[in-house]
Amino acid sequence: MKPFAAGLLFAALLVGCGGESGDGDSAPPVRIDDIRPAIAAVEAELGAGQQFFEVNATAQLVNLFVAVDDATSALPYIYFDGELQPPAPALSVESGFTFGADAVDFDEDTVLDAVADELAESTIEGFAIEGGDGGIVRYLVSTRSAQGGVLAVTVAPDGAVLEVDPL
């Protein structure tokens, strides 16, 4: 995982405490259903065609890191309770890949299912979309075990588990 994205995912975990492990019938433990509206809100604010370093969702909100200044800075936004909040000061970025809204193709109904099933004793604390080479994206689900261990699980758009890394 790139240092930029790993730091943002970790920051999202600090903000997004809580959530439930999935039993198939409960609401998603993180606000994945707010990701597309959050991206649309940023594009309504800044104009269509924005590039993002990362977009992540916690149980409370969606964090968006918009690439600005030729992708040398990230402008952080929070989408909370259906509204885009004013941006925080820009963060300097040494390197990192970006993606546009059209690259976001995960299935909201299934993207967390395999992780919730396979790690049933863990709590899903976050879901992140990070930029990859050529504008592609990578989906990460962060989980915390009852013992405190944290995993970053890379999933496919349909939720199939591709890779598991300890954080």
In angstroms, the CA 117 to CA 82 distance is: 29
How many domains, the chain? 1
pLDDT digits (tens, 9 = 90+) for 31-62: 999 999 999 999 999 999 999 999 999 999 99
pTM of the model: 0.84
Host domain of residue 69:
3-166
In angstroms, the CA 161 to CA 114 distance is: 7
| pLDDT < 70 regions, the chain | 1-28
User: And the tokens for 128?
Assistant: 């992140």
Q: What is the pLDDT of residue 29?
A: 84
Q: What is the pLDDT of residue 16?
A: 38
